[in-house]
Structures are given as C-alpha cells and as structure tokens.
Amino acid sequence: MAILLAIVVFAFAILLHGLAMRSPMRLDSVRRFLLVGIPLGLALAAASLNLFGFTVQGFAAIAFYALLCELYMFSFTLVLSSISATLLIMLRNEPIDTRALASVYDPEEMVQLRLNRLLNNGFLDKVQGQLIVTAQGMNYHRAFTTLRVFFGHGHGHGQGQGQE
Amino acid sequence: MLTAFAAYLAAHLAAYIAGLRRLALLRTEKGIFLYHFSSAVFTGLAAVVAAFSYPEDFGFAGCVLVLSVHGIYSLSFLELWSLAQGGYSLSIIAGVAEAEGKGTAPDFSALTAIGEGKLAGRIAALEKLQLIAKSGEHLGLTPRGVTVARMLHGLRQWVDPGVPGRG
C-alpha cells in the first residue's frame, strides 16, 4: 500500500514535469522537476507518516519515491546530454553511413549546446562580447576540482570522459 | 535491522574514504561501478533474508526501504564520481576561466577533438552492448537497440518539447 502510494505520487510528478516543460519558464529541466517533485515529496511524506506512522512502511514509501525521482532525473539528463543516447535516437529513423556520421553528429555543436546551457543557467556570462565565469560558475568549478582530487581523477581540467 | 544496514552503508563509504579510493581499480569506471553494484547485490540478498526472517517488522517494505536508500547513495556517489571525472561543461568553465586569466579568447578546439574521440568510443561501447551493429559502411540498430532507442526518444520528447528558454 505504502509503495503503491509512492508509485502513484511519482507518476503524478512525471505528469506535472511534462506540463512544466511545456510552459514558458526560464528554468532548466532539473529545476522544473524539483519545482513539482519537492512539494509532492513533502505531501507524500506527510501522508505516509500520517497513514503508517514512523514505521518501516512509512519510511519505505518516502525513500522509494526519492529513489524513483533520482532515477528519473538521471535518465532525462542522460537523454538530453549523452552522446550514446543521441546516437541511438538518431539511428532510430534509419541506418547511417559511418562516413557521414560526422556531418549528422557535430562535436562543435555539442560544445556550443553546452556553452548555451552554461550561459542560460548562470555559470557563464557574456560581458562586452567576452565570455566570463560567474561566481556561481567558479563555485561549481572549485567544488568539482576538489572532488577530482578526492576521487583520484588528477588535478587537471576535465578530459570530457564523464557522463556528458 | 535498519541500524545494522545504516552502519553497513556508513562503513562502505568510510572504507572508500579511508583507503580504497587510492586503489587503481577504484579509479576506473568499471571498478567503482562494481564496488557499488556488488554492495547493492549483497544488501539485496541480506534484505530478502531479513524479510523472510522478520515478516512483521521488516517484510517487503523493509526490502524496498533498504534497497531504495542504497540506490540513492550509490546513484548519487556514481553521478558525482562521473561528473568529477570530467564533463564537457566543467571543461568549458575551466577553459573560460583560464582564458579570462590570460586575457585571451577561450579555445574549445581541444574539447571538439575530445568529442570526436568520445563518439568513436561510444560507438564501440554500443556495439559491445549489442544495441547497434555495423553492416558494411552503415551503422544501424539491432532489435534490442530499436526498443532502447524508442524508449529514449519517448523520454526526450517528454522532457524536450522545444519550449524556448529552457536549459
């Protein structure tokens, strides 16, 4: 019952996210999901603890909803930015000549796409036509430089091997 | 039961922080994935045993709770690990910061070259997963690939309907 409740609330969150993605807000896809996912999560937590109390069932519903939300966010960010996902979607229509692949999948466009996202999300800014890193961008960069050292990935810049 | 599980997860993370992160094996994608996947399998088995042993106090809901918390922990950890390994966006920020310091225009040509290399690597990986297949000079989807591509396309259509101003 508790797990079913979590599934129903999660399905509702996906539905609202789809609607949010179709409304003209200046928010990225993750923030749009958080906008609907967090209030629904809080409502689920209140309902679950009210129905089942501080029991394993009550907490299971909350944790399961959180896991489903994280999996969903992981999936849609992957679909929006992953090279493999883009390639599979491209091949959905018809097979592609490997020699022509460079013309349908342009790495320069991928860099430009990410550049635009960083500008839209406030990590970069353009001042007099010059790109600059904002304070938010510097914090992001510092945090991940620390994490690079922690995980033992080395001290240099990203090598572009991650999920993106 | 839940306390033991919480202690196990804390120990799993502590072992990584204290020393395992220095192992060459856990600095590879496969190694770090297996570190978390094997733990999830072990936890899942332990949770099933606990569910049968304590059907009233733990049961199916206990299994779901334990696996959900492990899933959140592992997924968050692996996402951070993967992002820190070096995404395009981080490299772009680093490139812009470096150029800003030097007073020059950022040079993204290295990133473009990385993108070309990544594409070749991803094609090889998708072939290995039997999602795509080469036939002569053509690259096409396998039956399994068609199913996965349809699901990905459906999800992309759902979250990327083409509204301006979206990130």
pTM metric for this prediction: 0.81
User: What is the identity of the amino acid at A113?
Assistant: L
Contact at CB, B22 and A25, closer than 8 angstroms: no
Contacts of B125 in chain A (CB under 8 A): 84
Give the count of beta carbons closer than 10 Å to the beta carbon of residue B57: 14
User: Residue B163: pLDDT above 60?
Assistant: no
Token look-up 């550049």 returns A115
- Give the tens place of pLDDT for each residue, B140-158: 899 999 999 999 999 998 9
Q: Tell me which residue in B90, B106, B138 faces A95 most closely, judged by beta carbons.
A: B138
What does the alpha-carbon distance between residue B139 and residue A97 come to, in Å, rounded to a whole number? 6
pLDDT in tens, chain A (164 residues): 889 999 999 999 999 999 998 888 878 888 899 999 999 999 999 999 999 989 999 999 999 999 999 999 999 988 887 878 888 888 888 888 877 776 666 777 777 878 888 888 888 888 887 888 899 988 988 888 888 888 888 655 544 444 44
Mean pLDDT of B5-17: 94
Q: Which residue has the higher pLDDT, B166 or B55?
A: B55
What does the alpha-carbon distance between residue A16 and residue A72 come to, in Å, rounded to a whole number? 13
User: Residue B132: pLDDT above 50?
Assistant: yes
Q: Which helix (H) or strand (E) holds A96?
A: strand A96-97
Burial letters for A39-75: b for 16+ Cβ neighbours within 10 Å, e otherwise? ebbeebbebbeeebeeebbbbbbbbbbbbbbbebbee
Radius of gyration of chain B (CA): 22
- Return residues 25-54 of B near A (CB < 8 Å): 26-27
Token look-up 């990935």 returns A153
Contacts of B139 in chain A (CB under 8 A): 91, 95-98, 101
Cβ atoms B131, B141 nearer than 8 A? yes
Q: How far is A103 from chain B (nearest CA, A)?
A: 12
What does the alpha-carbon distance between residue B9 and residue B13 come to, in Å, rounded to a whole number? 6
Contact at CB, B139 and A98, closer than 8 angstroms: yes
Cβ contacts of A57 within 8 Å, gap of 6 or more: A1, A2, A48, B61
- Give the tens place of pLDDT for each residue, B49-80: 999 998 888 889 999 999 999 999 999 999 88
